């Protein structure tokens, strides 16, 4: 099986290049990132890879992976991240409020 | 006619769900941005990226639903590149930066907590235990010299605890300035030192009717420095305090006939850092140095053959303290916690009154002076709470004019005096009054 690189879309190659370059900050800050951040970027990267690979082989299957896993996964991961961060923030606010109330009681 | 590809019809559903996820994230991000503090850059990057992500997947969904076109296809692919790039650089980058900032904050809070715990242990736990030990020692031993020596050591430890508490207050409380007469301030310092070192002879040389703006803690700093001179100059120490007042600053020269501070201790104070090997011999000098630094002032030590000369320089006005150290590790969001933190256990009385004359805060010392628990004095009118002798003080609060004065207390009009100072509108709509008991005759004017 030979791959016809000429069938690649230049714009989609740019997307892949940006996604691979974006791995640098993600890997650098990896220890500080929430797993959902890594997951969200992983889905975006997968989408960028798949959108190029689908032009080379297994179009239908890879296309399904691009949209069903990459695109949808990225959207759900960032939504989960936002929900989680807000919940954590509210928990911290509640804790601080309880501490203030305890100080008042003292 | 092209055959429909199996599973193709579900693809727009995937993209629509993804778009919805990005849209929810963008909406929550915008809400978080409005509520955030240090995390604001992160939520801005997160919201913008998520918004663009929602737009990108919405366009892709529309393409799959048949609203296709070359321009739209190119635009959605460009948007995908922008979303991926922004996520990597802006979202992840700002998240890392915010995490660094949050870590620094946690460290600062940890240090503030450590200071607070240390202060509590010193002022409460150790002090209480030492008081009990002191009482038992007195009962157990018949050797008076031994008892005196042990009691002196215990008193030293109790005093160190008190100084550590003042250090804690300095770190954790906000700055509040009052206007005082320099000669009166030095008189109080002299009184305090003389009560502890009766053999020391403190001579003051200060122009009268000269005022300066200071925090109440400045008196503690000066007392520490003069006491340090009295302690290390042997019996019958000769100490001279000379004040040199200019338009912008007050310079105090403290001279004694003692050996002065060892060079090593001076270097430790100048560098602002102790190590297990190089450290000062107590808490007092740190307290003095930090208070002066907090006022935007400085202190220098010169030891010669005939004695030691310490020079203290303090800006005369609050506005002159431009280089004040931002050492406030923790500032309570509640103003009255701040008042309580700095003034609750002060020796002088403090009252805070709002513009309608209602008492907002009274510390323990003033409660004792007025013979009522502070709690009972709150939310009452200042003119009802304070005796008639303080009418000028109440008038000053009502008219918004700063005032200082002295009144006599007690039946014989001697021995007990009260000196007070009012700072109207020290914060918007609130006046602050300091009330100091003084041990000398006052003429009531």
Is the pLDDT at A27 greater than 80? The verdict is yes
For A81, which residue in chain B has the nearest alpha carbon? Answer: B25
Based on the fold, state whether residues B243 and B201 are members of the same structural domain: yes
Candidate from B14, B32, B84 with C-beta closest to A22: B84
pLDDT at residue A52 tops 80: yes
Distance separating alpha carbons of residues B167 and B147, to the nearest angstrom? 30
pLDDT value at A45 more than 90? yes
For residue B122, what pLDDT is reported? 67
Q: Final residue of a domain: which of B303, B324, B345? A: B324
pLDDT at A76 over 90: yes
What residues of A are in contact with residue B20 (Cβ under 8 Å)?
A: 75, 79
Q: Min CA distance, A2 vs chain B (Å)? A: 23
| B92/A26 Cβ within 8 A | yes
CA of B104, closest CA in chain A: separation in Å? Answer: 14
The domain containing residue B75 runs over which residues?
1-172
Q: Which residues pair with B312 in a beta bridge?
A: B252, B299
Three-class DSSP labels, chain B: CCCCCCCHHHHHHHHHHHHHHHHHHHHHHHHHHHHCCCCHHHHHHHHHHHHHHHHHHHHHHHHHCCCCCHHHHHHHHHHHHHHHHHHHHHHHHHHHHHHHHHHHHHHHHHHHHHHHHHHHHHHHHHHHHHHHHHHHHHHHCCCHHHHHHHHHHHHHHHHHHHHHHHHHHHHHCCCCCEEEEHHHHHHHHHHHHHHHCCCCEEEEECCCCCEEEECCHHHHHHHHHHHHHHHHCCCCCEEEEEEEECCCEEEEEEEECCCCCCHHHHHHHHHCCCCCCCCCCCCHHHHHHHHHHHCCCEEEEEECCCCEEEEEEEECCHHHCCCCCCCCCCCCCCHHHHHHHHHCCCCCEEEEEECCCEEEEECHHHHHHHCCCHHHHCCCEHHHHCCHHHHHHHHHHHHCCCEEEEEECCCCCCCCEEEEEEEEEEECCEEEEEEEEECCCCCCC
The answer to whether A68 touches B11, Cβ cutoff 8 Å, is yes
Same-domain status, B40 and B107: yes
How far is CA B400 from each of CA A96, B248, B335, rounded to the nearest angstrom?
36, 25, 21
Phi, psi of B143, rounded to the nearest 5 degrees: -80, 105
Nearest CA in chain A to B22: A75
CA–CA dist B112, B333 (Å, integer): 15
Q: With contact defined as beta carbons under 8 Å apart, do B422 and B392 qualify?
A: no
- H/E stretch holding A79 reads helix A72-105
CB contact residues (below 8 A), chain A span 20-59, against chain B: 21-26, 28-29, 32-33, 37, 40-41, 44-45, 47-48, 51
Are residue B101 and residue B115 in the same domain, yes or no? yes
How many Cβ contacts (< 8 angstroms) between chains A and B? Answer: 142
Segment A8-24 shows an average pLDDT of 89
Strand partners, A23: none
A72: left (phi over 0), alpha (psi -120 to 50) or beta: alpha
In this structure, the answer to whether residues B260 and B314 fall within a common structural domain is: yes
pLDDT of res. B322: 42
Is B1 in the same domain as B137? yes
A18, closest residue in chain B (CA to CA): B85
Supply the pLDDT for residue A61: 87
The pLDDT value recorded for residue A47 is: 92
Q: Are residue B9 and residue B147 in the same domain, yes or no? A: yes
CB contact under 8 A, B95 and A33: yes
Do B304 and B186 share a domain, yes or no?
Answer: yes
The total number of structural domains that make up chain B: 3
Report the SS3 class of residue A85: helix
A102 touching B (Cβ < 8 Å): no
Distance of alpha carbon B385 from alpha carbon B371, whole angstroms: 11
Task: Give the per-residue pLDDT at B313.
Answer: 92
Q: Which residues of B touch A100 (CB under 8 A)?
A: 333-334
Contacts with B91 from chain A: Cβ below 8 Å: 37
Asked if B139 and B211 sit in the same domain, the reply is: no
**Which pLDDT score is estimated for A81?**
92
Domain boundary among B324, B354, B372: B324
Q: In DSSP terms, which residues pair with B300 in a beta bridge?
A: B311
A98 touches chain B (CB under 8 A): no
Residue of A nearest to B21 (CA): A75
B146, B225: one domain: no
* Chain A partners within 8 Å of B97 (Cβ): none
Q: Are residues B216 and B345 part of one domain?
A: no
Question: Are B160 and B113 found together in one domain?
Answer: yes
CA distance B60 to B75: 10
Residue scoring higher pLDDT (A90 or B328): A90
CB B81 within 8 A of CB A14: yes
| C-beta separation of B84 from A44 below 8 A | yes
Tell me which of A82, A88, A101 to substitute to probe the interface with B (most B C-beta atoms closer than 10 Å): A82
**Domain containing B229 — which CATH number?**
3.30.565.10
Quote the percentage of chain A above a pLDDT of 70.
86
Pick out chain B residues at pLDDT < 70. Answer: 1-7, 37, 106-107, 109-110, 112-125, 141-142, 167-175, 260-283, 319-345, 355, 408-417, 425-429, 438-445
Q: Whole-angstrom Cα distance, residue A79 to residue B428? A: 44
Q: Based on the domain organization, do B224 and B344 belong to the same domain? A: no
**Widest distance between CA atoms in chain A:** 77
* Nearest one of B435, B445, B384 to B413, comparing CA atoms: B445
Cβ contact (<8 Å) for B60 and A71?
Answer: yes
Max Cα-Cα span within chain B: 116
- Please compute Rg for chain B using Cα positions: 32
pLDDT number for residue B271 = 59
Residue at which a domain ends, from B172, B200, B231:
B172
pLDDT at A28: 86
Find the range with the poorest average confidence among A34-48, A58-72, B174-188, B269-283: B269-283
What number of CA atoms fall less than 13 Å from residue A33's CA on the CB side?
22
């Amino acid at each position: 099986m030979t791959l016809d690189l000429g069938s690649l879309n230049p714009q989609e190659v740019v997307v892949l290049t940006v996604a691979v370059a974006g791995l640098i900050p993600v890997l650098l800050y990896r220890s500080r990132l929430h797993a959902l951040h890594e997951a969200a970027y992983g889905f975006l990267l997968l989408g960028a890879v798949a959108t190029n690979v689908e032009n080379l082989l297994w179009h239908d299957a890879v296309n399904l992976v691009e949209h069903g896993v990459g695109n949808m996964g990225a959207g759900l991961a960032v939504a989960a991240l936002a929900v989680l961060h807000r919940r954590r923030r509210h928990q911290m606010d509640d804790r601080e409020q309880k501490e203030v109330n305890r100080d008042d009681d003292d | 006619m092209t055959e429909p590809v199996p599973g193709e019809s579900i693809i727009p559903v995937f993209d629509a769900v993804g778009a919805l996820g990005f849209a929810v994230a963008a909406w929550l991000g915008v809400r978080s941005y409005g509520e955030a503090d240090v995390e604001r850059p992160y939520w801005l990057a997160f919201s913008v990226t998520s918004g663009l992500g929602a737009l990108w997947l919405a366009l892709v969904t529309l393409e799959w639903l048949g609203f296709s076109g070359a321009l739209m296809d190119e635009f959605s692919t460009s948007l995908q590149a922008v979303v991926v790039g922004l996520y990597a650089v802006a979202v992840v980058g700002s998240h890392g930066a915010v995490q660094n900032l949050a870590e620094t904050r946690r460290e600062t809070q940890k240090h503030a907590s450590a200071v607070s715990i240390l202060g509590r242990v010193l002022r409460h736990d150790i002090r209480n235990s030492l008081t009990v030990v002191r009482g038992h020692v007195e009962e157990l031993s018949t050797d008076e010299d031994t008892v005196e020596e042990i009691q002196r050591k215990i008193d030293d430890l109790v005093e160190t605890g008190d100084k550590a508490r003042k250090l804690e207050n300095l770190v954790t409380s906000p700055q509040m300035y009052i206007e005082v007469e320099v000669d009166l301030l030095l008189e109080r310092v002299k009184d305090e030192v003389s009560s502890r070192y009766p053999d020391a002879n403190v001579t003051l040389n200060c122009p009268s009717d000269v005022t300066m703006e200071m925090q109440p803690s400045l008196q503690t700093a000066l007392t520490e420095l003069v006491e340090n001179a009295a302690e290390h100059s042997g019996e019958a120490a000769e100490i001279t305090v000379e004040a040199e007042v200019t338009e912008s600053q007050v310079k105090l020269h403290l001279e004694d006939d003692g050996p002065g501070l060892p060079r090593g201790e001076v270097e430790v104070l100048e560098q602002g850092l102790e190590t297990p090997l190089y450290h000062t011999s107590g808490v007092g000098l740190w307290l003095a140095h930090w208070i002066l630094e907090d006022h935007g002032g400085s202190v220098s030590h010169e030891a010669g053959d005939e004695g030691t000369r310490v020079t203290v320089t303090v800006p005369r006005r609050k506005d002159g303290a431009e280089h004040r150290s931002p050492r406030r590790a923790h500032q309570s969001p509640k103003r009255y916690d701040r008042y309580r933190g700095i003034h609750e256990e002060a020796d002088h009385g403090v009252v805070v009154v709002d513009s309608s004359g209602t008492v907002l805060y009274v510390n323990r010392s003033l409660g004792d002076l007025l013979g009522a628990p502070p709690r009972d004095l709150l939310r009452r009118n200042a003119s009802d709470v304070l005796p008639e002798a303080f009418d000028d003080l109440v008038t000053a609060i009502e008219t918004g004019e700063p005032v200082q004065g002295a009144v006599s207390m007690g039946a014989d009009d001697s021995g007990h005096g009260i000196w007070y100072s009012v700072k109207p509108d020290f914060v918007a709509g609130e006046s602050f009054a300091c009330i100091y008991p003084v041990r000398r005759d006052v003429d009531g004017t």
